[in-house]
């Protein structure tokens, strides 16, 4: 059945996901006020927490993939489904597929991703990264829970305690 019908499916999605469809991809516990905070400030955190180019074996200039590169096109087409229009794609020596805190937000794609995974698996990995870019949650992969709480929750608590009279 699969072999007969796989050719009937479109190779590219017809339209981007609407916000309600995008929200349905989140786990129940992920839908909270902090997600709204991350969506508001997540792309600005690249100034405080620059992308870890050294740890994934990438160079900011030399390993940036051009828009016509096949991997860049695949990541971009997947990201557009999630509503992400601006992104950078970098070739990395290790790390699989990871989000990058760059300006604009980006994705690290390890050299072996294309050889190790088939097209559907690659698309899944690119989609997972694109969802993180859409919600601007790339910082959550970089910081531990305590550091993330210090970054996001402590300032909110402090501002709630200090109210003008």
Token duo for residue 151: 């970054």
The residues near 86 (Cβ < 8 Å, ≥ 6 apart) are 104, 105
pLDDT at 91: 96
Of how many residues is the chain composed? 165
* C-alpha span between 155 and 32 (Å, rounded): 17
pLDDT at 10: 64
Token duo for residue 38: 């991350």
Residue 17 bridge partners (DSSP): none
Contact 100, 106 (CB under 8 A): yes
Token duo for residue 46: 């690249």
* C-alpha span between 55 and 39 (Å, rounded): 26
pLDDT at 164: 56
Supply the pTM of this predicted model.
0.80
Which residue, 76, 82, 100, 103, is CA-closest to 90?
100
The SS3 assignment for 88 reads strand
Contact 93, 56 (CB under 8 A): yes
pLDDT at 162: 57
Tens-digit pLDDT string for the chain (165 aa): 878 877 776 666 667 888 878 888 887 767 777 788 888 888 888 888 888 899 999 999 999 999 999 999 999 999 999 989 899 999 999 989 999 989 899 999 999 999 999 988 999 999 999 999 998 988 888 888 888 888 877 776 777 665 555
* C-alpha span between 122 and 114 (Å, rounded): 7
């Amino acid at each position: 059945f699969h072999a007969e019908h796989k050719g009937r499916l479109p190779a590219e999605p017809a339209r981007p996901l609407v916000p309600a469809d995008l929200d349905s991809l989140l786990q129940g516990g992920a839908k909270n006020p902090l997600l709204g905070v991350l969506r508001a400030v997540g792309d600005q955190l690249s100034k405080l927490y620059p992308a870890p180019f050294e740890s994934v074996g990438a160079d900011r200039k030399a390993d940036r993939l051009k828009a016509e590169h096949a991997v860049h096109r695949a990541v971009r087409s997947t990201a557009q489904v999630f509503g992400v229009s601006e992104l950078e794609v970098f070739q990395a020596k290790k790390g699989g597929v990871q989000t990058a805190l760059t300006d604009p937000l980006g994705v690290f794609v390890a050299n072996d991703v294309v050889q190790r995974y088939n097209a559907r698996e690659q698309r899944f990995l690119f989609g997972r990264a694109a969802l993180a870019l859409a919600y601007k949650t790339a910082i959550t992969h970089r910081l531990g829970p305590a550091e993330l709480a210090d970054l996001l929750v402590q300032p909110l608590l402090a501002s709630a305690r200090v109210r003008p009279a």
